């Protein structure tokens, strides 16, 4: 126990994030491979140049890979963090990877719903196409 707010307690999680869908570790392992591929493709192919998007995708990727490694090694995810004050505890025991995924999910909502109201502009396909045309117009062909 580290103070009253963090207790270290070992829990074998055969399900998903925060113990949801118990007994589905194998399914989550396969889903993780697809999610990792999608996240890498999004970061490489999106054209977004926002540090917040990169951090968000990095947290998702890191959390997915962290839990995937546990599933491969043990057949379950090792959860250990029990937070709260006294008898008022967070209802789930979790790990660092779960926390990273949770923060990333919150950041996705910020990017989708709050950022546009703060004047943060995420490029859409039209913006990306016009940027590509400007790049092509400025190139000099050699040959």
- Digit-coded pLDDT (tens) for 102-119: 999 899 888 878 767 766
What is the structure's pLDDT at 113? 80
Q: Domain of 19?
A: 6-138
Total domains in the fold of the chain: 1
Q: Which of 79, 82, 124, 127 is catalytic?
A: 79
Q: Which of 70, 82, 98, 124 is catalytic?
A: 98
What is the structure's pLDDT at 103? 94
> Is the residue at 109 inside a domain?
yes
User: Is 79 a known active-site residue?
Assistant: yes
> Is the residue at 134 inside a domain?
yes
What distances in angstroms separate CA 48 from CA 55, 58, 100, 121, one per listed residue?
12, 14, 21, 10
> Is the residue at 1 inside a domain?
no
> Is the residue at 125 inside a domain?
yes
Average pLDDT taken over every residue of the chain:
76
User: Is 98 a known active-site residue?
Assistant: yes
User: pTM here?
Assistant: 0.67
């Amino acid at each position: 126990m580290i103070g009253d707010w963090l207790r270290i307690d070992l829990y074998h999680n055969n399900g998903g994030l925060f113990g949801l869908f118990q007994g589905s570790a194998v399914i989550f392992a396969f889903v993780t491979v697809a999610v990792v591929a999608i996240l890498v493709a999004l970061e490489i192919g999106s054209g977004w140049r926002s540090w917040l998007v990169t951090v968000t995708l990095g947290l998702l990727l890191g959390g997915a890979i962290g839990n995937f490694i546990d599933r491969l090694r043990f057949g379950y995810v090792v959860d250990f963090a029990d937070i709260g004050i006294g008898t008022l505890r967070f209802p789930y025991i979790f790990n660092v990877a779960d926390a990273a995924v949770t923060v990333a999910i919150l950041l996705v909502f910020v990017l989708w719903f709050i950022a546009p109201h703060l004047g943060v502009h995420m490029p859409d396909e039209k913006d990306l196409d016009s940027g590509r045309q400007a790049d092509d117009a400025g190139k000099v062909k050699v040959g």
